[in-house]
Amino acid sequence: MTATSGETWPDAAEWTGKIYSGGWRQPEGGTQPVYEPATGARLAEVGVAWPRDVARAGALAARAQRDWAEAAPAERAEVLLRAAQGLRDHSDAIREWIVRESGGVPAKGDYEIAAGLSQLAQAAGMASLPLGEILSPSFPGRASHAWRVPLGVVGVINPWNAPLLFAMRALAPALVLGNAVLLKPDPHTPVSGGVVVAQLFEDAGLPEGLLHVLPGGPGTGEAVVTDPHVAMVSFTGSAQVGRTIARAAGDRLKRVALELGGKNSIVVLDDADVDAAAAAGAMSTFGYQGQACVAAGRHLVHDDLVEPYTEALIGHAAALRVGDPREDGVALGPVISERQAARIERIVEESVSAGARVLVGGHRDGLFYPPTVLDRIERTMPAFTEEIFGPVAPVVAFRTDTEAVEIANDTEYGLTSAVHSRSLPRATALAGQLRTGMVHINDVTAQDAANAPFGGMGASGNGSRVGGTANLEQFTQWRWATMPDGRTPTP
């Protein structure tokens, strides 16, 4: 890939048609092409890991992890800091890969790079945290203490919508806490979510065998989940696939962290700043074509404000240009695939057939779906019930705060939400009644921070959290030890 700076990185001669497992090597699974959704152009060719490749990687990772767990915490942190420097040095080339593989605009690439840097910095800081505690002994003269130890090998199954960010979110804390990682990037983004990551850590001096990048489809993911060396699986993706992974991991008594979908509501109370709320609503739904688990899938607006809010939202939608994300002035690129475009189209068409109304947008051009606003939404329509994962804003009216809470909670998901009101006490009180793992006042639904416990409730996950000190719970386990002061009495 040639970036706008003229840099070609990483060197395609090193990784084309290969996987990263003890260095770049030919896999047993052959190769797969990588295409640009905006143009259909062929971007690259990556190796495909088959189950035997995964088994080999798991064995190598388990051996390498033992020495890595004994390394000084500062040594592990230093590798992450060098990887962060590499991310800065090659940011132009990495941004280009993100834009072309995922279909996001350059600003989306910049966001992923900045967020990846935050994840690396936050994880590096964890190396200096205390990992244990002194406990009160159960008998006099006995020492008792507990400390956290690595899990061993962590399997990370990565999505396509924020491939660099989600890779760093899991593997940075996993590595700094002494684990090895098997990373399976999504087939749509195996370079920005896999090859780039492998090259950054290789250049940073991560010891061989600790990170394996294994592109492939469902069979590769299943092999990662079931590999006997893998102690934990971190998965980001759909609730349907998450349930399958949870069953497979549960049968093997493995820890599993699931970050799944969402049907997130932005709630606009009758005393809200309409213009500010509509701007936040537009960003929450239309940003990166709505292809985010934290996107707003419902706009719940007080009946007194529906008309001005909807007009403002339509204005935002109409002003957003759709096209090739590398062109100046484009705000929305393509959705990731024909399958996803057809899904968005189906949800909108079925909802319209049931009585919904399209106020703007609503018709796609290939993979390009315009910002769309719907009203006259009923709670039985697909636009209300299903996660759309596209730039579609269903507007639903309510009359009371109690009704707003009831509508927002009418979903199996529980990831994030936002509440808009000029009264912070009122907004906070309503937010406390929403069954979501995250809630934001007078802001967008799509928030993320490396030091915050990110995760959801219900079908949005299994209660796991990543970010900040929550990573200690995810990527380590407790060990308890006692020591008597003198000879232990014989029973």
Q: Catalytic positions, please?
A: 259, 293
Supply the DSSP symbol for 431: H
In terms of Cα–Cα distance, which of 337, 331, 336, 381 is closest to 356? 381
Phi/psi for 323 (5° steps) reads 170, -160
Phi/psi for 319 (5° steps) reads -85, -5
End-to-end, the C-alpha distance of the chain in Å comes to: 71
Residue type at 186 in one-letter notation: D
Question: Could you give the C-alpha distances from 242 to 120, 211, 254, in angstroms and in order?
Answer: 26, 23, 14
The answer to whether 32 touches 50, Cβ cutoff 8 Å, is: no
Count of CB atoms within 10 A of residue 192's CB?
31
Phi/psi for 484 (5° steps) reads -75, 155
What is d(CA 169, CA 61) in angstroms, rounded to the nearest whole number? 19
For 301, the token pair is 């607006």
Q: Which residues of 245-259 are buried (b: 16+ CB within 10 A; e: fewer)?
A: bbebbeeeebbbbbb
